[in-house]
Structure 1
């Protein structure tokens, strides 16, 4: 049996009931200021931010881009050749409309 998908409404109700159970068991909810939980010793935790290295100079590649653009525009347009006709499968019927056999027709 397939379990029905849980909706946002179901998830909200479940979370509310869990919070209510926590409060009924004399649990307390501590209010914190916005962004305070991300602070370490009153400062933002910067060890995970990747801006520690100095800025690196970039290598200009304008000549490479120009060469690619030139190759792209110098290609001749594809020639439109007539597509080869593929043989088709046709069914032969007898006088009474019953199928007899398949025949390949060009």
Structure 2
């Protein structure tokens, strides 16, 4: 397995490629900042997807249901026993006397 290059190595490699391109007579065109590469920059973006609409698709709900069933196998339903919890016992004046465990 080849070791991955660090960011510094990639940066140096790219710089060397640019220097080599310029040394062999290559030229870089200056482009003003903010200029768009699209012919009509104010118009909305054109979709790059050339496909058919949703109406042309074949519905396959049983296939989707089978895939979903494989993703999440359903375990048998288990009955949970109610857990005991603490309840406060109050005296006639509303003051707590003690706690007791009860199951509802």
Considering Cα pairs closer than 8 Å and 6+ residues apart, tell me whether 1 or 2 has the greater RCO: 2
Scaled to the shorter chain, the TM-score interval is 0.3 to 0.5
